[in-house]
């Protein structure tokens, strides 16, 4: 039967609140009696802390708490606990906290920060990957002094915080057998997430019970809970995370940033809440970033375009602390060779520590960056072989049953369909690679595709309550951050139960109540949450059958549930529709109907070999897609105009098609910024453009792009209604396609993003 | 095996927060931008509202909302919707809201209230039950105009808001066959709950979504949610009740009082929260009360003391609106003949409407009052027959298998054991009924017993989360109001799972998250919540067996769970203790362990006949107990000193013995107030002593009583570990025993409580 709710576009359930301004984001939350926090941050990117003088700050009227690293020398981290809450021996990046203040008002707190005098002894600054790899100045002198709490592989006595390796076949032999071997580099700039909402936290500590409560727009509250509980030595169950609405995250709110600072202050605030909101400058300088990255990519290929071998070396400029670098390194490592059949492959990834802000999760966990590299390389190969770039890709892309570079027999792969659809969306076959417009603009087309895994193993649980009036409340911990999870999960529940989707709502997220969910990242919410919802719905159906049987005086075995109708198999007059179950009386004075779903992927997870990363099933779900761009370059100004973006993404099943489309649309504009504008510029450890004037992001003025988006629906056998994920994929191939189109238009080989007008004006044609 | 946690006295889990003051009660909660509400209340107990002039109030700077009944003529109620949120045609009790104000600060709100001018046309005041029963002035002229939403039986064109009838055998024939027929009356005064915390609510309305949120110390949040949703025409799922800590309830916070007023204001407050906290005077005059009650009791008895027939007529002075009167009438009706074998019985109960504050639930739902009446009667019978009061009771009390007055074959009855233990606790058998002390005080002993049902059918659900670190979080909606439910449920979970009770905590209550629980009343939390917890724990055990089997590579069938140890049946080396499950790794990356329990009693409930109330099983659980008092009366001053109270209550199983003891201890001091001090005094509809100076409650000065308490443990076959309830029972026989002891000491027949010094000084000996 056709779906009734799944596959129908419905407005976002969180839409009205957000459009009208009634949604409460982090900074909107205040509590009576709250103090205001401010952070004294290091102006030096690398320095020893000789002394911190806080006397003047403490004497300022209205100042209630002043903390330094001497008061609070605790370390935290999700993979390795290398990061002090307050720097106490040295600072490793400009903006690192060296003291904290809480005061009766924000101005007093800020003035107190100004009155804190810190004696620094500057250290040599490690600015670049190359400098870091010299290992002359070590940011972290002894990795072994830290607790490793996740998968993290630092190299002793170096600035390498993590390593990743992938080995398949013999790349040297592959290169030897190739007709053409190409070796290139590619660079992606350092990006700030520039979410509308900055990081914030409001914390209070109950001195009587030791319980700590934190209001935060965290995107992964259970991870934050774990980090804070470990850092502050509090049992998990005494650390409560109450989630506020998220004003944009994209990975930046995956990290504990304002939370540990607010908690540290709250512990000394005599029971008063402490609110800490990052300014935009703090957000730039001292929150998190997408690590700049350098790729070396070497590919061996036959004359007919068949890929034989690929070697990719990746240097993530992870900044001063490891944070989520290892996970970026891991996810990107698996995707570094692209969605291609390559018999011989080698990937080496390194998280390299420099005196910069922290390179962590950013929509795609590195996959967007690797797509730039491998798709740049594919275009160069096509050019050298005189092949059409699309043709080269179609020849090599994975199909069902093909082996991936980690030896997995692939399933539910629709990258070919995506490539073809994306190409069609810009009328690829009827366009040359480059042409000149009637107004003298240089025009070009480019195409790119990608593969991306979702983190595995992973777990999600939900609780679904059937209310007394027959409405449904879903408790889950997937955060709504624009991806539409609070609309999609109700759709899945409504479809499975046959109930009106209007009757289904989703509760906020609060770790005191909400069931465990690992994280809201990795485009996993629909897949994992949806599966958990289906399990919970089944329990609800089972319970309703029992209640209806009792109501009708029939044995439960005589009842059936179909399309929302609970009925007696042998008596057509006895039935209740789920939409009327509240009024039917069958719930009255009966055991409350409540279902749980607990979904995990550990059973399918085939833990990869730690060196080769060969694995039969490293992920429960691969995502694929392709994008094709048409650009117009003004040779006089160097301005690039993205004219058309043809996108095609395999969402498995579009639960809420308009939501899927919006994810891709937003991603394209975001990726446009990556390709053409965005870069955090550091000079000698100092961020030069940490504000929204000098750091350029796309605006509506840049968004006049003809977006042609196709949703491919190749059902995933394990996805809810076949659904995969679409939170990150729309971004993954965007910059790559744009760069390829620019290179086509200009006949150039730009191998670094952003490609800015000055690059174009002073380009070399290649 | 002996229990490890159940039956061990442990400190209350909410104790530290309450003792140190970190617990947040209703009035402690504030939200940024909140307005302050105040209520314009009628000085008249009964009047038509001719006009309400609010112009001056509206002009007062800082006033944001002024509402009258003309703006907001909605009715609400739990059994019958007879009560306006704001009075709009007439007022029926002194203190009834006629207008509401919300302003920037409380003083402005109060001043605005003062500026509101209301034109009243006074109506005749119905002061007493007798006046009401004349039906000359009707408080509610047309009962049929109201929605009946619960079990409520008003009598058209009368002041009778509800009726209850019980019929068994033939009382006239029983009286005819009796050797002695006694007919008496008994009166209980009107009481205020005088909780430390008054009623309060903090509400806000999201104008974009229509969602309404209310912070309240409500004791039954799902009932409040239902009342408010109906009253304001909001779908249940858009009405969110966030529960604050309760500073005493005893039934008073069962009613919607501050909540509808705060919500009404919030709906007009343009998204700003509105906080409304009742003053102590408002609490007295216009919150709720225990209805004053008049009993007529007629008993037929054989010479040997065998009870043959009893007829009880009960007039509850329910006040101006019905509220929970019908449930008081019902529960008390079932208990009106006491815990005795009586072959012929007749009970008639009436909720009578007068122009007074609202008589509603008060610890015991009328059972404490009926115990006064039937135990007073038993003592008079004993005196007339020359029998020992204890002997008379022991001769007649129900035992297992006996038929109750509603025809139920009783089970798990320990009233005999309780009577014997209570008597022993005051050395009954070695004391005369009355004696004179060496200092000339008149001394006497008295004994009383009772029976009390718990509301049936009823339902409770819980969700239990096993956290990543192996700690356990219970989500339930039973409110902690001093009865210790947040300690007892963890004990039950800990016992069943074999986990340390320190690792088990209970989440707050918030209808957005918390699983449905009908109500926190009727001494039901341990029984219902405990059973639901046991169901949820079983699910957790089942899930842990699966995870452990996976961990050890064994089939699940080879695993067993015993005393907290999950082990392989055939391999003693493979086991994990639940206390170490967090560190064991078996939870890691596995589907989250979460259990649900949904317990209901509808299957055992044998709906009583609406006229006779005969029923095989009207309740899942009867509670029984007895108390024996020794008093000393100063003949010069009339002062009564309660010297000893011997109590014995069948708790089924004392999950937390110290908690059970504290419930009884607190009840005894509360009941002492009822017997000797407390009464709300009305004159012509006006409350004369609505403050804590003129309304006397026991203080520590009155609490110097030798308390001898025995917990009888006759396991209930369906109770968790055999437990019954003890929230209300401790109170049930207290005043009755004290009155009987005073009557013994004074040789008097005081048939009204409180018995005050002036009554004693001017007594008649009888």
Distance (Å) from the C-alpha of residue B496 to the closest C-alpha of chain A?
A: 20
Band of residue A1 on the pLDDT scale cut at 50, 70, 90? low
Peptide bond into B754 cis (omega under 30): yes
Band of residue A764 on the pLDDT scale cut at 50, 70, 90? confident
Mean pLDDT across B566-577: 95
State the Cα–Cα distance between residues A185 and A97, nearest whole angstrom.
35
Provide the 10 A C-beta neighbour count for residue B747. 15
Band of residue B56 on the pLDDT scale cut at 50, 70, 90? very high
CB contact under 8 A, B475 and A513: yes
What confidence tens digit (pLDDT) does each residue in B433-454 have? 999 999 999 999 999 999 999 9
Q: Is the pLDDT of residue B207 over 70?
A: yes
Of A22, A208, A516, the CB nearest to B20: A208
CA atoms within 13 A on the CB side of A352: 25
State the Cα–Cα distance between residues B705 and B645, nearest whole angstrom.
7
Q: Is the pLDDT of residue B74 over 90?
A: no
Distance (Å) from the C-alpha of residue A590 to the closest C-alpha of chain B?
A: 6
Mean pLDDT across B311-337: 98
What confidence tens digit (pLDDT) does each residue in B699-734 have? 999 999 999 999 999 999 999 999 999 999 999 999
Q: Is the pLDDT of residue A594 over 80?
A: yes
The chain-wide mean pLDDT, for chain A, equals: 97
Of A465, A468, A595, the CB nearest to B226: A468
Q: In what order do the strands lie in the sheet with B307-319?
A: B160-168, B344-353, B307-319, B293-301, B180-188, B752-753
**Close Cβ partners of B673 (under 8 Å, ≥ 6 residues apart):** B696, B697, B698, B702, B754
CB contact under 8 A, A605 and B589: yes
pLDDT value, residue A766: 59
Band of residue B396 on the pLDDT scale cut at 50, 70, 90? very high
Task: Tell which A residues from 234 to 253 touch B, by Cβ distance under 8 Å.
Answer: 235-237
pLDDT value, residue B1: 64
A15 inside 8 A of chain B by CB: no
Band of residue B73 on the pLDDT scale cut at 50, 70, 90? confident
pLDDT value, residue B766: 59
> What value of ipTM does the predicted structure carry?
0.95
Of all residues in chain B, the one with the smallest CA distance to A236 is B469
Distance (Å) from the C-alpha of residue A222 to the closest C-alpha of chain B?
A: 9
Closest listed residue to residue A422, CA positions, set A747, A754, A741? A741
HEC-encoded secondary structure of A518-550: CCCCCCCHHHHHHHHHHHHHHHHHHHHHHHHHH
B40 and B58 in contact (C-beta within 8 Å)? no
Mean pLDDT across B469-482: 97
Mean pLDDT across A708-717: 98
pLDDT value, residue B179: 98
- Percent of the residues in chain A that have a pLDDT greater than 90, as a whole number: 98
B96 and B87 in contact (C-beta within 8 Å)? yes
Mean pLDDT across A16-27: 94
Residue found by looking up tokens 């204890």 in the block? B390
Peptide bond into B512 cis (omega under 30): no
Best probe of the B interface among A462, A524, A592, by most B CBs < 10 A, is: A592
Closest listed residue to residue B13, CA positions, set B466, B476, B488, B479? B488
What confidence tens digit (pLDDT) does each residue in A603-628 have? 999 999 999 999 999 999 999 999 99
State the Cα–Cα distance between residues A437 and A108, nearest whole angstrom.
59
A268 inside 8 A of chain B by CB: no
State the Cα–Cα distance between residues B315 and B351, nearest whole angstrom.
6
pLDDT value, residue B454: 98
In chain B, residues with a C-beta closer than 8 Å to the C-beta of A229 are 469
| Burial profile B500-519: b = 16 or more Cβ within 10 angstroms, e = fewer | bbebbbbbbbbbbbbbbbbb
A766 inside 8 A of chain B by CB: no
Q: What is the DSSP letter of B397?
A: B
Mean pLDDT across A751-762: 96
Of all residues in chain B, the one with the smallest CA distance to A599 is B591
State the Cα–Cα distance between residues B123 and B134, nearest whole angstrom.
16
Helices assigned H by DSSP within B135-257: 171-177, 221-232
State the Cα–Cα distance between residues B706 and B643, nearest whole angstrom.
6
Q: What is the DSSP letter of A564?
A: T
Of A510, A592, A605, the CB nearest to B516: A592
Provide the 10 A C-beta neighbour count for residue A611. 9
Closest listed residue to residue B26, CA positions, set B225, B191, B249? B249
Q: Which domains does chain B have, with CATH numbers?
A: 293-397+406-455+608-761 (3.30.365.10), 458-600 (3.30.365.10)
CB contact under 8 A, B236 and A599: no
**Close Cβ partners of A55 (under 8 Å, ≥ 6 residues apart):** none
β-pairing, A686-687 vs A504-506, is unpaired
pLDDT value, residue B72: 81
State the Cα–Cα distance between residues A345 and A311, nearest whole angstrom.
6
Mean pLDDT across B398-408: 98
What ranges make up the beta strands (E) of B403-441?
A: 434-436
Mean pLDDT across A208-217: 96
B766 vs A495, which has greater pLDDT?
Answer: A495
CB contact under 8 A, A209 and B16: yes
State the Cα–Cα distance between residues B1 and B565, nearest whole angstrom.
15
Mean pLDDT across A170-176: 98
Band of residue A74 on the pLDDT scale cut at 50, 70, 90? confident
Task: Kindly state the helix (H) or strand (E) to which residue A514 belongs, with its residue range.
Answer: none
In chain A, residues with a C-beta closer than 8 Å to the C-beta of B590 are 459, 600, 602
What confidence tens digit (pLDDT) does each residue in B348-395 have? 999 999 999 999 999 999 999 999 999 999 999 999 999 999 999 999
CB contact under 8 A, B589 and A457: yes
What confidence tens digit (pLDDT) does each residue in A318-358 have? 999 999 999 999 999 999 999 999 999 999 999 999 999 99
Rg of chain A over all Cα atoms, to the nearest angstrom: 27
Residue found by looking up tokens 């952070």 in the block? A39
Phi, psi of A436 (to 5 degrees): -115, 135
Closest listed residue to residue A72, CA positions, set A80, A64, A83, A58? A83
How many residues belong to chain B? 766
CA atoms within 13 A on the CB side of B459: 20
Distance (Å) from the C-alpha of residue A507 to the closest C-alpha of chain B?
A: 6
């Amino acid at each position: 039967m056709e779906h009734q709710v799944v596959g129908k576009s419905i407005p976002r359930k969180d839409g009205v609140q957000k459009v009208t301004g009634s949604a409460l984001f982090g900074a909107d939350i205040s509590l009576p009696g709250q103090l205001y926090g401010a952070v004294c941050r290091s102006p030096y990117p690398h320095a020893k802390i000789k002394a911190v003088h806080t006397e003047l700050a403490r004497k300022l009227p209205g100042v209630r708490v002043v903390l330094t690293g001497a008061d609070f020398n605790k370390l935290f981290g999700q993979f390795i606990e290398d990061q002090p809450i307050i720097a106490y021996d040295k600072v490793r990046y400009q903006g690192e906290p060296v003291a904290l203040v809480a005061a009766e008002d924000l101005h007093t707190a800020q003035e107190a920060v100004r009155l804190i005098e810190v004696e620094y002894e500057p250290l040599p600054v490690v600015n670049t990957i190359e400098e870091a790899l010299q290992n002359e100045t070590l940011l972290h002198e002894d990795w072994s002094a830290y607790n490793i709490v996740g998968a993290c592989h630092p190299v002793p006595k170096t600035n390498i915080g993590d390593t990743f390796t992938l080995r398949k076949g013999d790349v040297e032999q592959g290169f030897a057998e190739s007709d053409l071997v190409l070796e290139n580099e590619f660079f992606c700039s350092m990006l700030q997430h520039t979410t509308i909402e900055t990081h914030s936290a409001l914390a209070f500590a109950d001195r009587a019970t030791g319980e700590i409560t934190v209001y935060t727009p965290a995107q992964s509250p259970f991870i934050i809970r774990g980090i804070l509980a470990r850092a502050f030595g509090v049992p998990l169950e005494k650390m409560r995370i109450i989630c506020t609405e998220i004003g944009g995250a994209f990975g930046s709110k995956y990290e504990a940033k304002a939370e540990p600072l607010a908690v540290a202050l709250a512990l000394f605030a005599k029971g008063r809440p402490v609110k800490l909101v990052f300014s935009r400058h703090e957000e730039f300088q001292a929150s998190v970033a997408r690590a700049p990255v350098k790729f070396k990519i070497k590919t061996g290929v036959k004359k007919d375009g068949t890929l034989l071998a690929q070697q990719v070396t990746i240097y993530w400029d992870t900044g001063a602390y490891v944070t989520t670098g290892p996970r970026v390194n891991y996810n990107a490592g698996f995707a570094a060779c692209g969605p291609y059949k390559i018999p011989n492959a080698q990937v080496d990834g390194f998280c390299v520590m420099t005196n910069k802000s922290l390179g962590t999760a950013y929509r795609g966990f590195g996959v967007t960056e690797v797509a730039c590299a491998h798709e740049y390389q594919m275009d160069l190969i096509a050019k050298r072989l005189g092949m059409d770039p699309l043709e080269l890709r179609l020849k090599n892309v994975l199909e069902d049953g093909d082996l991936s570079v980690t030896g997995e027999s692939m399933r539910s792969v629709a990258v070919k369909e995506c490539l073809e659809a994306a190409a069609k969306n810009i009328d690829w076959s009827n366009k040359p690679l480059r042409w000149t417009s009637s107004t003298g603009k240089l025009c070009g087309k480019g195409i790119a595709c990608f593969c991306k895994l979702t983190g595995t193993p992973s777990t999600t649980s939900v609780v679904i309550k059937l209310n007394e009036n027959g409405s449904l409340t879903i408790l889950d911990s997937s955060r709504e951050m624009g991806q539409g999870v609070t609309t999609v999960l109700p759709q899945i529940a409504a479809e499975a139960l046959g109930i009106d989707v209007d009757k289904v709502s989703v509760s906020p997220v609060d770790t005191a109540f909400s069931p465990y969910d690992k994280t809201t990242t990795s485009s996993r919410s629909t897949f994992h949450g949806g599966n958990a919802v289906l399990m919970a719905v089944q329990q609800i159906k089972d319970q309703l059958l029992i209640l209806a049987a009792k109501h009708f005086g029939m044995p439960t075995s005589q009842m059936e549930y179909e399309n929302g109708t609970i009925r007696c198999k042998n008596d057509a007059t006895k039935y209740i529709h789920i939409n009327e179950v509240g009024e039917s009386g069958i719930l009255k004075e009966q055991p409350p109907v409540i279902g749980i779903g607990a979904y995990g992927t550990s059973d399918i997870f085939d833990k990869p070999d730690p060196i080769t990363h060969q694995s039969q099933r490293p992920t429960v779900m691969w995502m694929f897609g392709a994008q094709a761009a048409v650009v117009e370059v003004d040779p006089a100004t160097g301005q690039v105009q993205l004219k058309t973006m043809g996108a095609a993404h395999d969402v498995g099943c579009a639960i809420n098609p308009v939501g899927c489309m919006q994810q891709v649309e937003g991603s394209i504009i975001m990726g446009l910024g990556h390709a053409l504008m965005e870069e955090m510029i550091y000079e000698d450890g100092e961020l030069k453009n940490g504000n929204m004037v000098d750091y350029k992001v796309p605006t509506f003025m840049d968004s006049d792009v003809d977006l042609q988006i196709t949703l491919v629906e190749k059902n995933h056998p394990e996805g809810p209604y076949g659904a995969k994920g679409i939170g990150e994929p729309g971004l993954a191939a965007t910059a790559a396609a744009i760069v390829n189109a620019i290179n086509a238009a200009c006949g150039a080989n730009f191998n670094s993003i952003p490609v800015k007008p000055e690059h174009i004006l002073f380009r070399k044609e290649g």
